[in-house]
Structure 1
Amino acid sequence: MTDTTDDLSTPLGQNPAPRRRLRLPFSLPQATGLLLGSILVVFLGFVFFNHDPLGGEPKARVAIRQAPVSDDKPTAIRPPPQQPDSAAVTAPSANGQKTITIIDGSSGSRQDVVVSGPGPDAADAGSAKAVVGVDQRLLEKSRHGMIPVAAADGLKPFKAYAAGTEADRAKAAKMPVVAIVVGGLGVGATKTTDAIMKLPPAVTLAFTPYGSDPGRLVAQARAQRHEVLLQVPMEPYDYPDNDPGPQTLLTTLGAEQNIDRLHWQLSRFQGYVGLTNFMGARFVAAAAVMQPFMHEAARRGLGYLDDGAAPLSVAGRLAEGQAMPFARADLIVDAVPTSVEIDKALARLEDLAMKRGVAIGMTSALPVSVDRIGVWIKSLESRGVMLVPLTTAMLKSKST
């Protein structure tokens, strides 16, 4: 018979010995939190104390050994074992253009592409030496750079940089003339180059002081015998909602501040005959700010073209007081930029020239404008009207 022990056989006042269990110094949730905290500390330490900005990026180390160059033996250059799919070889030319030869590596076919590029003096494009035909006597140093000035012997930029010949001016004195001024150039290189190359030299080109390299484009225009104007950004009525750009002349600034801004604009490129307003309906109507501006332009031997967009402009009256060359545009050729409306505007401009002897039109360099003006000019002289640079139209307008 087997003895069994139960609660009845256990002596009173005595409890069975409890079973011993392994006790940890922390609970399971505490252990989980400690583990996650450790991982976070390690990660933050890696972020803050690792100074490799390219950490995690694949790396490769390549040892480049420079072969010694002997004075008496040429160094042989081994071609790569495989040819690329295509290659380009650039050959600069004397006129600043580059011919790029594109070679197809698979077929061996070659294609030459000519692109415009800076000439050998591109590093000095902002200096007078980089601009062909700029007279050193007509330059003065300012805090912004070189700006135009009348020479001590009386020579002025208006006369020195005028396009056309004496024979052309003598011919223009005997027949009706039209001047076309294309504005807004210098910012878009493609449209500027199209205007320079597609329009005849007698068309005058007006450049804003903006753009990455306006000096090079102006030099290109003058090399094609175009007459050049500088468009001066001026305050419109809805300024600053409509902002012409940095260094805009403002009616709220004093004369000294506006002249300093004008000097910045004058320094952007060289070789121009005069100035014209870029926007500026409010500014050109305020005699208090226009008078110092016109005085400074006249003192530097420059002419002034009013674009005709502001009926209240005082530029004409002030120019007469300064005895400086002046003209006012008769109409905007591409106010409605369609082929039909541009053709109508050109016809009106031609009629004005026939009636008054002189007419001046302003236009932008929109492709449709350049194309329609080019077509119109081809047959203009056969109808008894001569296309002339702006300076010729200014002088004829003054004489009549």
Structure 2
Amino acid sequence: MPIAALLGLCMAGFVGWAFVVDDPLGGEPVAVIKLPSGTLPAASAGGAPAASPSAEAPAADKSVAAAPAPAAAPPAGGQTITIIDGSTGKRQEVTLPAGGGGEKVAAVEPHLLEATRHGHVPRIGLDGARPSAAYARKPPAGATAQSVRIALVVGGLGVSATATADAMRKLPGVVTFGFVPYGGDIEKLAAKARSDGHELLLQLPMEPFEYPDNDPGPQTLLTSLTSEQNVDRMQWAMSRMQGYVGIINYMGGRFTSTETAIGPVLREVAKRGLVYVDDGSSPRSLAGQFAGANNLPFAKAAVVLDAVPSNAEMDRALAKLEATAREAGSAVGVARALPLSIERLAQWIKQAEGRGIVLVPITTLTARAKPS
């Protein structure tokens, strides 16, 4: 009897607890998922809240509420990514359009990567393969030695969400893109640009004459550092993204005009099978001399197209670029990813073919570099 009385007492207690506690799962284990503020899910058709799309599914022995509500899909073939604006820290969701390069792009080659303390950086493969060749885009069929060839480089990408999306949407794949190594989503953006057919350059921050009043950013290469320290900073920048064909200076008036500073850096560029592009902003740059001495494929911009960012000045700069290309057979023009610059270049590109201009990727004009 005492045992029966004890069992009866337990049963009565359980029934009482069931009436008092509102738990339809009857005490079964439940996974509780904490959602970030501002991301409360909308109610599903059955009235139950949908789980966060970003939450991981719980283990099989745990119960969860309704299935996640499907997220709004980007346009067909598009890709939505988050870009952090380097100047303001603002996060912005940007939907990039489907690739328009029309050319299948090779994946990043593991055998062309070397592990460093900062991450992977490009290298020449054991088979002699060079990143500058592996990631190069084929030039258009009309790009012969007799044609008037122009390579356009648009830099400053990867930091501003609006400018990056604008450039990818409006400029064709034959335009070379330069990425600053500070963007929060630079790896994804670089991959997207390559899938659109663009050749990529890494913009390497270098000391300008006005430094530190004019500061390119963290890990800037400085004339006051040893060559080993500068190469280490260079490898930090090189590890931020992959799939680029070469390096272009980001500022660097003082650095590129200092022999003991620029020399070791260009030897490192040559050692890693890349090309080097001088943006033409400093007439005192020694980059061309050291590129020749190290058998480094090299190109120098003939015109900075938006040194004065106005339609009239850009038109004059583009006319000068055309004249230079017609006289020399080829020329390189550089511009920043400013809204005005992107819009004006997009218009000029549509008209260039009718004037006998053939646009080419940057490696087309660096492949035949000769020692000076």
* TM-score, normalised with respect to structure 1: 0.69
Compute the displacement of 1:334 (Å): 0.8
Compute the displacement of 1:90 (Å): 2.0
- For residues 280-307 of structure 1, what are the alpha-carbon distances to aligned partners after superposition, in whole Å with 9 as ceiling and x for unaligned? 1000011111111011110000110011
What is the match of residue 14 of structure 2?
none
SS for the counterpart of 2:315 is helix
In the TM superposition, 1:239-258 aligns within 5 A as 239-258=211-230
For 1:389 and 1:188, the matched residues in 2 are separated by: 23
In the TM superposition, 1:94-105 aligns within 5 A as 95=77, 97=79
Aligned residues of 1:158 and 1:274 also touching (Cα < 8 A): yes
For 1:132 and 1:68, the matched residues in 2 are separated by: 55
For 1:395 and 1:293, the matched residues in 2 are separated by: 20
SS for the counterpart of 2:72 is strand
Is residue 119 of structure 2 the alignment partner of residue 155 of structure 1? no
Compute the displacement of 1:77 (Å): 7.8
What is the match of residue 389 of structure 1?
361
One-letter code of the match for 2:318?
L
What is the match of residue 219 of structure 1?
191
- For residues 18-48 of structure 1, what are the alpha-carbon distances to aligned partners after superposition, in whole Å with 9 as ceiling and x for unaligned? xxxxxxxxxxxxxxxxxxxxxxxxxxxxxxx
Aligned residues of 2:297 and 2:369 also touching (Cα < 8 A): no
Is residue 257 of structure 2 the alignment partner of residue 285 of structure 1? yes
What is the match of residue 143 of structure 2?
171
What is the match of residue 183 of structure 1?
155
Closer, same or farther: CA 190–132 of 1 in aligned 2, 3 Å: farther
Compute the displacement of 1:204 (Å): 0.4
Aligned residues of 1:358 and 1:396 also touching (Cα < 8 A): no
Compute the displacement of 1:252 (Å): 0.5
Compute the displacement of 1:64 (Å): 8.0
One-letter code of the match for 1:116?
T
What is the match of residue 116 of structure 1?
95
Compute the displacement of 1:92 (Å): 6.1
Structure (1 or 2) with the larger CA radius of gyration: 1
Compute the displacement of 1:372 (Å): 1.0
SS for the counterpart of 2:120 is strand
What is the match of residue 6 of structure 1?
none
One-letter code of the match for 2:47?
P
For 2:337 and 2:120, the matched residues in 1 are separated by: 28
Q: 2:236 aligns with which of 258, 264, 270?
A: 264
Is residue 117 of structure 2 the alignment partner of residue 138 of structure 1? no
Aligned residues of 2:178 and 2:201 also touching (Cα < 8 A): yes
One-letter code of the match for 2:354?
S
Is residue 326 of structure 2 the alignment partner of residue 354 of structure 1? yes
Is residue 41 of structure 2 the alignment partner of residue 67 of structure 1? no
Identity %: 48
Closer, same or farther: CA 64–358 of 1 in aligned 2, 3 Å: farther
Q: 2:315 aligns with which of 343, 346, 361?
A: 343
Compute the displacement of 1:89 (Å): 4.7
Is residue 298 of structure 2 the alignment partner of residue 316 of structure 1? no
Aligned residues of 2:151 and 2:333 also touching (Cα < 8 A): yes
For 1:142 and 1:66, the matched residues in 2 are separated by: 55
Aligned residues of 2:175 and 2:360 also touching (Cα < 8 A): yes
One-letter code of the match for 2:129?
L
One-letter code of the match for 2:95?
S
* TM-score, normalised with respect to structure 2: 0.74
For 1:281 and 1:92, the matched residues in 2 are separated by: 42
- Shifted more, 389-398 versus 284-293: the winner is 389-398
Aligned residues of 1:208 and 1:232 also touching (Cα < 8 A): yes
Q: 1:379 aligns with which of 344, 351, 368?
A: 351
What is the match of residue 301 of structure 1?
273
Closer, same or farther: CA 98–391 of 1 in aligned 2, 3 Å: closer
